[in-house]
Amino acid sequence: MHLSAEEPSTTTTQTYRQAIRSFNPMGLAGVDSQVASILRNYYIFNYTDSESWRRVESIRFRGRLHLPHASFWFVAYKKKPDYSRVVIYSGAEPVLVMAYDGEDAWQIDSAHASEPVAMLANDALNFIRDAATAGHLMYPSLPGKTIELRGSTEIDGRNCFELLITLPNGQQITSIVDKLTFEELRQVTTNAATGSDEVVHNTKFEIVDGIRLSVASDKFVEGKKAHSIEIDEITYNVGVMPWMFARESGAYIPELERLAASLHEAAKTSSEAEVDTMDANAASTGPSFSPFARKSAFDEVDLSEISVLEGLGVAPEQPERLRKTFE
């Protein structure tokens, strides 16, 4: 079954990319005047102007996922309007791939198979929800989508707006935006697979070519910290193509040799104990390298029930082998 971003799993509803075709991502027509004022400032402070955002066709993120007992490298690719792909590494070995091509949400779990399989329906809803490159505060005029000002709140001593976003398929996201800097400090969602309340708290931002992006975040599930994310590198427009997100491209890891060498070197020189442990498990990247040939150190880690990389707008629920809670 193929699920499309911001839509229910029916054959009569438009896909996300069809629905947004005639809409300006920063268009405010028909939006409540108070919400429109907040969003206008949010766009200026975070994207400079519509032309700056228009120039971005794709984004590549490289960083580290820190869990209570281990850390892993990841590379995430996002391409407008809603292509998304995440590769998680143990050392230089890719051990988990998750992707969405606008219709099909799929994954490869190296512990179980070398071929891509469809995500479970509710897991796919989590992933698809945040696949859109623009994020949820864009396209406020999209039919069936609403953004409501629910009032004010305080986060770490900072006064913030609390905005409730309801997507056309009924999924809801609470966005907490600083009243002075217009940084999106938090996103609150409900996990479609578990029903758990999940909070992503963005702790650090950087402006890259006029666009502000979160480069560090913490994820909490039912109030308990599940993981943190650090972004080391952000690159725009690196030649990412739509076919790279399709299930048929499952075994292909974009820029594998360059990325593997880079991650291996970073792991080798890092002073962090977790990264040193990862590096000891790095696999060969020679001509005979098979990225899904065997289990890795990734499979020996007891991971809590988490949604990886939600701070990037990517929210997959992990395969069954990752659903081991810390007691």
User: SS3 for 84?
Assistant: strand
- Given pLDDT bands bounded at 50, 70 and 90, which one contains residue 288? very low
Number of domains in the chain: 1
Domain contains 39: no
* pLDDT value for 282: 36
Domain contains 7: no
Q: Look at the chain and count its residues.
A: 327
User: Which tens digit of pLDDT belongs to each residue from 87-115?
Assistant: 998 877 788 999 999 999 999 988 777 78
Domain contains 4: no
User: Which tens digit of pLDDT belongs to each residue from 108-146?
Assistant: 988 777 789 999 999 999 999 989 998 899 999 999 999
Secondary element (H or E) of residue 18 = helix 16-19
**Is beta strand 146-155 parallel, antiparallel or unpaired with respect to 117-118?**
unpaired
Dist. CA 109–CA 218, nearest whole Å: 24
- Give the count of beta carbons closer than 10 Å to the beta carbon of residue 10: 9
Residue in this structure with the two tokens 């864009």, named with its chain if needed:
138
Average pLDDT (265-282) is 49
Dist. CA 206–CA 35, nearest whole Å: 25
In this structure, what token pair is assigned to residue 42?
């949010």
For residue 81, whether the previous peptide bond is cis, meaning omega lies within 30 degrees of 0, is yes
Q: What is the pTM for the complete model shown?
A: 0.78
Question: DSSP string covering 71-113, please?
Answer: EEEEEEEEETTTEEEEEEEETTEEEEEEEE-SS-EEEEETTT-
In this structure, what token pair is assigned to residue 179?
């009243």
Domain contains 48: no
In which domain, by residue range, is 293 found? 56-142+204-322
With a CB cutoff of 8 Å and minimum separation 6, the contacts of 136 are: 130, 165, 167, 173, 175, 187
With a cut of 90, say whether residue 47 has pLDDT above it. yes
- CATH number at 258 reads 2.50.20
Dist. CA 277–CA 89, nearest whole Å: 12
1-15, 91-105, 214-228, 308-322: range with lowest mean pLDDT: 308-322
Average pLDDT (314-320) is 39
Percent helix, strand and coil across the chain, each rounded to 5?
20, 35, 45
Domain contains 98: yes
With a CB cutoff of 8 Å and minimum separation 6, the contacts of 21 are: none
Question: DSSP string covering 195-235, please?
Answer: --EEEEEEEEEEEETTEEEEEEEEEEETTEEEEEEEEEEEE
Secondary structure string (H, E, C) spanning 61-81: EEEEEECCCCEEEEEEEEECC
With a cut of 50, say whether residue 168 has pLDDT above it. yes
